[in-house]
Structure 1
């Protein structure tokens, strides 16, 4: 049955105007564009599919699910430290921390009880505050069930990637809508697949990882990642 309250929460938290700082992160789009890997809309579609299939679905999604299911904040922190250990790139770790803390900040200001209670953990340990873990808490605070939380996590990644491509001038607004449309079935198919209980978070996106890692050496940058 269609759940209007959940749908409205998805619209609110998935809106690009939601002030969680997502506009500061391109997750490799900027570097790939600079290196000539984002020549057209088809290349962007492929990049989004890779991001979803080989990083989000196998890394962020299982971490989010573990954090969402955690029964205590200490257990949430354990998942957060796992995210730290499973992210070898210093730039991606920093980006995940910064994005997570930005989301946590607004969730705390909105009074989310889990977010408010977890903030001292993040303040006390520099390893904590990864984006998928904070998404789990913030989306639980928003009243979203696990299925909706996963959908929102994946979709905000897609919209962030497309928005970055638009601001870099790689595509226009019409192509952006086409890219969003192309990503929808990819994300939907991934969400149809159940995650194994014992799935260990992992990712394999070498081009994206290299593009993000090279970021600090670039003379001009618009994005943190």
Structure 2
């Protein structure tokens, strides 16, 4: 019960984790297509969950979770995550989000977050979001399933919220797409291979993110 409540708390969009400034590539995609139907947003969230989150972010959450208090191991995972984030918008966004996430938990008094914040400042860690989530949530006594649920929901809800803020879709239509993603998140967790090598294949998102960097006017950082 406690782990479920912790997951709800961390998945709450009101938690100050820095993600408010990030669109997950949605801003550039919306600029290309002009808006989203509920079906189109559902398909986009599904693609990100299947081809990025489940095969990349989720695995780094789990490995950092398993590392526990081993700061050198967390630092090594952080550097691996950095090396595998080939595009600067994804790489920089992940680090900024992760650093904000850690800073919020440090201000809430988490000893692990305080250590991670110091490690980021010293360069021993880089602060990538999935790595920081796994480490901090383990310290908060999440179980592994709840950590994955929170991570998946934060990803899906972040995409939906960004689309609404951009005016690309209505709030209730976005909620319909988000609701459809819940089954996907559950299935990916149940069927996922925790021992797989991290991989990501979302070329459309990557191209949109690269275009976004050159945009003259941007609401979001990425």
TM superposition score normalised by structure 1: 0.94
1:182 matches 2:180: yes
1:67-112 superposed Cα distances (whole Å, 9 cap, x missing partner): 1111411001000000011111011100000110010100111111
Q: Is the 8 A contact 2:137 2:147 kept in 1?
A: yes
Alignment correspondent of 1:118: 116
Instruction: State how far apart, in whole Å, the 2-side matches of 1:46 and 1:214 are.
Output: 21
Instruction: State how far apart, in whole Å, the 2-side matches of 1:108 and 1:222 are.
Output: 28
Q: Is the 8 A contact 1:38 1:44 kept in 2?
A: no
Runs of 4 or more, structure 1, over 3 Å off, are: none
Q: In structure 2, do the counterparts of structure 1 residues 77 and 127 end up closer, same or farther at CA, with 3 Å as the change threshold?
A: closer
1:141 matches 2:139: yes
1:212 matches 2:209: yes
Instruction: State how far apart, in whole Å, the 2-side matches of 1:143 and 1:110 are.
Output: 15
Alignment correspondent of 1:22: 19
Q: In structure 2, do the counterparts of structure 1 residues 49 and 37 end up closer, same or farther at CA, with 3 Å as the change threshold?
A: farther
1:11 matches 2:3: no
Q: CA deviation at 1:167?
A: 0.6
Q: In structure 2, do the counterparts of structure 1 residues 37 and 206 end up closer, same or farther at CA, with 3 Å as the change threshold?
A: farther
Q: In structure 2, do the counterparts of structure 1 residues 38 and 195 end up closer, same or farther at CA, with 3 Å as the change threshold?
A: farther
Q: Is the 8 A contact 2:62 2:194 kept in 1?
A: no
Among residues 58, 61, 67, which one is paired with 1:61 in the alignment? 58
Give the unaligned 5+ runs of structure 2. Answer: none
Instruction: State how far apart, in whole Å, the 1-side matches of 2:123 and 2:5 are.
Output: 34
Instruction: State how far apart, in whole Å, the 1-side matches of 2:176 and 2:100 are.
Output: 29
Give the unaligned 5+ runs of structure 1. Answer: none
